Amino acid sequence: KPVHFVVLLGSLRRGSFHRAVAEALPALAPEGVTIDQLGSIGDLPHYSADLQAEGFPLAVTDMAERIAAADGVIIVTPEYNYSVPGALKNALDWFSRVQPQPFAGKPVAIQTGSPGAIGGARAQYHLRQVLVFLDAQVLTKPEVMIGQIGGKVDAATHAISDKGTAAFVGQQIAALAAMARR
Ligand code: FNR
């Protein structure tokens, strides 16, 4: 059956390497898999229970509905200070308050990168921890951790220029699709 994924991007930067990866995903998807961007998490206010009490911001409910309707979510994010960027954590904090929980039982794949060698591995494991509370079904392998990301993606054309990296990312999308179909 056809499956549909949405992409949650952890960087707000216009020239972001991770934005390039996120935008490259639809073209790397196998047959029967469609992929859309969720939109900018920079539009979400800082989480506050007071704001929530006034009613969830439209940007939150819109993204939460699209997550709930999708067959899976691909989170593409840099590592900030060995962890999850604040803007992404903020978005997840908002989504965690929406009922029913949009991430509950949802297949999720994580892709991190870094100009350094470790490819955002530390952020990736912090993110997995957060997703436990959100009750997501996080894909275990393959783990996409793109080291030396500046030489592997082209931020100007939104492409993964390194063939091996592109193929590996495609394998992860296929694994997420197989999980979503189970
Ligand atoms: C970073 N960067 C970074 N890299 C890394 O591998 N581990 C880290 O802990 C951090 N910490 C960190 C904190 C902050 C505040 C910034 C701005 C950056 C470097 C980061 O990986 C690099 O800037 C990437 O290019 C960010 O991803 P985008 O915006 O290009 O997608």
Quick: pLDDT tens for 2-22.
Answer: 999 999 999 999 999 999 999
Q: What is the pLDDT at residue 139?
A: 98
Q: What is the pLDDT at residue 22?
A: 98
Q: What is the pLDDT at residue 177?
A: 98
Residue of 88, 114, 145 with the most ligand 1 atoms within 8 Å of its CB, for mutation? 114
In this prediction, residues 139-163 reach a mean pLDDT of 96
Q: What is the pLDDT at residue 37?
A: 98
> For residue 15, which atom of ligand 1 is closest to its CA?
30
pLDDT class of 98 with cuts at 50, 70, 90: very high
Q: What is the pLDDT at residue 90?
A: 98
Which residues neighbour 48 within 8 Å (Cβ) at sequence distance 6 or greater?
A: none
CA of 181 to the centre of ligand 1 (A): 34
In this prediction, residues 96-100 reach a mean pLDDT of 97
Q: Using CA atoms, how far apart are residues 82 and 125, in angstroms rounded to an integer?
A: 10
ipTM of the prediction:
0.99
Q: What is the pLDDT at residue 152?
A: 98
Evaluate: CB of 125 within 6 angstroms of ligand 1: no
Instruction: For the full predicted model, state whether its pTM sits above 0.95.
Output: yes
Q: What is the pLDDT at residue 35?
A: 98
> For residue 20, which atom of ligand 1 is closest to its CA?
31
* Extended strands (E) in the chain: 3-9, 33-37, 72-78, 107-113, 137-138, 144-146, 153-154, 159-160
pLDDT averaged over every residue in the chain: 97
Phi, psi of 49 (to 5 degrees): -65, -25
Its sign, for the CA torsion 78, 82, 84, 85, is negative
Q: Using CA atoms, how far apart are residues 130 and 117, in angstroms rounded to an integer?
A: 24
Q: What is the pLDDT at residue 169?
A: 98
In this prediction, residues 86-109 reach a mean pLDDT of 98
CA of 144 to the centre of ligand 1 (A): 16
CA of 79 to the centre of ligand 1 (A): 5
Evaluate: CB of 94 within 6 angstroms of ligand 1: no
Q: What is the pLDDT at residue 14?
A: 95
| Centroid of chain to Cα 68 | 14
Question: Measuring CA to CA, which residue among 141, 169, 16 is closest to residue 78?
Answer: 16
Q: What is the pLDDT at residue 161?
A: 97
CA of 8 to the centre of ligand 1 (A): 17
Q: What is the pLDDT of residues 43-89, one digit of tens each?
A: 999 999 999 999 999 999 999 999 999 999 999 999 999 999 999 99
